[in-house]
Chains A and B, each alone.
Chain A
Amino acid sequence: MTEEIRILKGNTFVVTDGRGDIEASATEPDGLFAWDTRFLSRWVLTVDGKRLNPLSVDDLQYFETRFFLVPGTGTVYVDAKLSVIRDRSVDDGFVEELTVLNHDDQPVEITIRLDAGADFADLFDVKNAQAKKGKLYSRVEAGRLVYGYERETFHRTTTITTTAPAAVDEAGMTFGVRLEPHGTWATQLRVAPAVIGPGGRPFRLAHPPEDDQPDMHRDLQAWLDAAPRLECDWEPLHITYRRSLVDLAALRFAPLTSGGRSLPAAGLPWFMTMFGRDSIFTSLQALPFAPELAATTLRELAARQGSRIDDFRDEDPGRILHEMRYGESAAFEEQPHTPYYGNADATALFVVLLDEYERWTGDRELVRDLEVEARAALTWVDEYADLVGNGYVWYRRRNEQTGLENQCWKDSWDSISYADGRLPGYPRATCELQGYAYDAKVRAARLARLVWGDPGYADELERQAADLKRRFNRDFWVADGHYYALALDPEGGQLDVLSSNIGHLLWSGIVDVSKARAVARHLLGPRLFSGWGVRTLAEGEQRFNPIGYHVGTVWPFDNSFIAWGLRRYGFKKEAARIAAGILDAAEFFDGRLPEAFGGYERSLTRYPVQYPTACSPQAWSTGAPLLLLRTMLGLEPVGDHLIVDPALPEGIGVIALLDIPGRWGRVDAFGRGRVRVDTKPRLRPQLGADT
């Protein structure tokens, strides 16, 4: 009964147990959530007072599930004369088609009961088990059950309706049902969350759908049809590829100002909202497959680009947002998420995505439209992020109560340390931030010449980039270890731990060619490479922990960018080896890579150990196999052509990726696996097993 069933659409999601019931606790994210609020915390079905027993659960689509149930829990006795089907699909809330079948040749009278309840917990309360500050109410109105929560002017409601008549009370609804021999009874239950504005009028936080009853099946099919078609000898890749496309569809989120267009929300259950960093990385990964995500991400992040100095939100002019939230703690400014800007990477990455998007699509109009924002982003990098005044990107939160301590992708408190485990003071300058800044300048110079008609600005950006690269290779290089320091401390001293961040440096192109081989060797060396992927922190470091969130686990997204970086410097075999490890791991998760998994040695565990509270699906993990496909095939847009330069692991056989969209229209890419990845015969074929 502990199995979790999750369905989702945009920022609405439902988490239930294996029989479709919700019995939320203070700390578990079970329930119906929308806009960072739990609108339903109790939803328990009984027949004649007895709980039901699941026979099967079909995850039909990401937005719908079907539960087959029979009355009577436990294993001793199951009354097989009745069966119950709960067909549930998520929209703004959810709709449940409840059907009861009598298999007997006698009529039967039963009592069907649905217990309901709503605690209106803010997602942050669920994370931190906070008590409510306002007033909860419940009432019965004309056959409908309404739950509500009010705190001053803040007002949210959940309305539950049924098509079949019911006796409704404040704790649920009861149906007295007589079923004829072989008869059927059914009702449709609808759970509708609402945000209530002044005057008691509901208002929408999302762009209204074009159609009142959008056909989600057709929409999903159209999404899948628009993506390139994969042909491959290695069956698991088909499953992973399809899973990635479907999960990406599930995570599409249309914020208020997008005119209905979608960008990827970051992940279930904690991050079902717009994140600057996550949306950008995912859009980069998905460019060869669904380039329109990048366009929406760029437009929406631009529309919310920082415009003022706000210390509570860590906002500055030009800064790209970190996270937007809609719940009670954001509304009352107990949390700074309206939006919060505390990241030091998304602003440069915004420019990187703009250029990469143009390379793939040739959409110069968007580049022209966003010139002001791109320039403001570059100005932020130079003027606001350089807290020390020495030409590097630094971070230090100004909101010391609820702001983020670490404003890079490894944003947990202990992720940035010295080799001896000490934590440095602030501000901090992690190495990959310098890489992103370098890449942003180089790419913006190209756009300035090509689209903005400002060669002087291009020259200046290139001069700055060259200077940054020269200084970086001097100040961050750990000479006796032959790798780059994780970060500089406020005094300019090196945090000389070996970390996966050095892989991002390859991706950004800031690594001196003379140093690249040493970096690649470390990435594939025994301290960083587990056999499945590159660990966030190297084995042997003081804070290394194979199940430490950012200090030893393997992150599929991280690895996909590292593989891209290795390809950029010509390390084809090394990139293929990482692709092999991550794709092998994906197979163990039925094609759905979690946010992170354990950094244990592959030969030790034989399977990837899931990180306990990892988000899944998570957008940039979903995007990882897509980017790995790109790196394995060596896809690179050059002018109006797509260059294909495959380097595939041997076990993968032949890959064909057909109808890749881009400025060239649609083209196909083919590759054959030739890179040996130490594979030995096993019970099941794997790509990168080394034992």
Chain B
Amino acid sequence: MPSATEGFFADLASRPDEPLLRAATGTIRIDLHRPGGTDRWFITIERGAVTVAKRGRAADCRVRIDAELFDRIASGETNALAALLRGQLAVEGDLELLMMFQRLLPGRQASRSGARQPAAAGRGAKS
């Protein structure tokens, strides 16, 4: 079964133009650190058109993050801005680009169906 991270990037790659990012242009490189290695993703945004690649060259914004944490971000369990404030993301370069990109990440939901129910009790799992 693919990880939340792989699922997120696969979904991102298959999306049509993303109107939320129509004002953004640039490349974000995300280095996911896991025991034994680093997975690298390049997300290139060109006025709303998003492409995802495992290889690339220069990036406008470089992010280093623990792979396990990114998995939880990609599944909506935790929030990228909160992780940034917690000091779990090392960011170099264009932070504004990252701010735009993080809007494409999923939110935390009580149920994945999107049903508009109250948040479940007992949340608050912390890293």
Contacts and interface: CB of A to CB of B under 8 A. Distances in A.
Chains A and B come from one and the same complex: yes
B81 interface: yes
B82 A330 contact: yes
A204 to B, nearest CB: 8
A187 to B, nearest CB: 33
A307 B104 contact: yes
B3 to A, nearest CB: 19
B107 A311 contact: yes
B99 interface: yes
Interface stretch (A152-160, A608-616, A651-659): A152-160
Given A199-B90, A387-B116, A331 B107 contact: no
B85 A330 contact: yes
Interface string B85-104: 11111110001100110011
A339 B79 CA distance: 10
A400 B126 CA distance: 19
Contacts of A313: 79, 107-108
B126 A153 contact: no
Contacts of A369: 23
Given A256-B96, A303-B99, A308 B105 contact: yes
Contacts of A387: 116
Contact of A308 (B23, B78, B89, B106): B106
A398 interface: yes
B109 interface: yes
Interface in A247-289: 256-257
A198 B78 contact: no
A47 to B, nearest CB: 40
B87 A198 contact: yes
Nearest to B110: A311
B14 interface: no
- Interface residues of B, dominant DSSP: loop
A257 B121 CA distance: 34
Given A154-B87, A256-B95, A333 B79 contact: yes
A203 B85 CA distance: 10
Given A308-B105, A310-B107, A313-B108, A334 B88 contact: no
Contacts of B110: 311, 398
A398 B107 contact: no
A171 interface: no
A465 to B, nearest CB: 25
Contacts, number: 109
A77 interface: no
Interface string A399-442: 11101000000000000000000000000000000000000000
A326 B124 CA distance: 18
A197 interface: yes
A612 B70 CA distance: 45
B85 A198 contact: no
Contacts of B82: 330-333, 338
Given A152-B86, A153-B87, A338-B79, A307 B127 contact: no
Contact of B119 (A305, A311, A330): A311
A544 B1 CA distance: 60
B30 to A, nearest CB: 14
Interface residues of B, number: 39
B19 interface: yes
A154 B83 CA distance: 9
A315 interface: yes
B34 interface: no
A332 to B, nearest CB: 6
Contact of A312 (B87, B108, B127): B108
Contacts of B108: 310-313
A332 B126 contact: yes
Contacts of A398: 110, 116-119
A667 interface: no
A518 interface: no
B106 A332 contact: no
Contacts of B91: 197, 203
B90 A198 contact: yes
Interface of B: 19-20, 22-23, 64, 76, 78-79, 81-82, 85-91, 95-96, 99-100, 103-110, 114, 116-119, 121, 123-124, 126-127
Given A197-B90, A307-B103, A310-B107, 8 more contacts: A152-B127, A154-B87, A195-B87, A198-B90, A257-B99, A308-B107, A311-B118, A369-B23
Interface of A: 152-155, 195-199, 201, 203, 256-257, 303-305, 307-313, 315, 326-327, 330-334, 338-339, 369, 372, 387, 397-401, 403
28 contacts: A152-B86, A153-B88, A154-B86, A154-B87, A195-B87, A198-B64, A198-B87, A256-B96, A257-B95, A257-B96, A257-B99, A304-B103, A308-B76, A308-B103, A309-B107, A309-B116, A311-B108, A311-B109, A312-B119, A313-B108, A330-B85, A332-B82, A332-B86, A333-B82, A334-B124, A372-B22, A398-B110, A400-B121
